[in-house]
Amino acid sequence: MSELREEDLEIQVYSGMGVGGQMIYESRAYCPAVTITHKPSGATVSVSDRSQLQAKVQAVEILTGLVSGYIEIEPPREDWHNGDER
């Protein structure tokens, strides 16, 4: 598996705060998230996890697979539409 060069990556880190669970009282859950873009290819991966470090590791693993060709994503079919366009 090829390594990604750090200078080819744009990394954005943010935290998501949201209501957690089905509780009567509002409960806030901290959910760190990472978005990494591989600048040469334009591939972007976003991952959220309980740990910011774990989210970054997962995002890099997925992005490495995408860029190396180990993971393939099919483009949308040409006959696909969102239902509003007929």
pLDDT value at residue 2:
62
pLDDT band at 82 (very low <50, low <70, confident <90, very high): low
Instruction: Give the C-alpha separation, 46 to 58, whole Å.
Output: 9
- Single-letter amino acid code for the residue at 81: H
Rg of the chain, C-alpha, whole Å: 17
Domain boundaries, the chain: 6-68
Phi, psi dihedral angles at 54 (to 5 degrees): -65, -40
pLDDT value at residue 38:
93
Region of residue 34 (left: phi > 0; alpha: psi -120 to 50; beta: else): beta
Tell me which architecture the domain covering 6-68 has in CATH.
2-Layer Sandwich (3.30)
pLDDT value at residue 20:
52
pLDDT band at 84 (very low <50, low <70, confident <90, very high): low
> What pLDDT, in 10s, does the model give residues 10-68?
999 887 655 555 444 444 456 788 999 999 989 999 998 888 889 999 999 999 998 88
pLDDT value at residue 67:
87
Instruction: Give the C-alpha separation, 76 to 41, whole Å.
Output: 18
Sheet holding 28-38, edge to edge: 9-19, 28-38, 43-48
pLDDT value at residue 27:
45
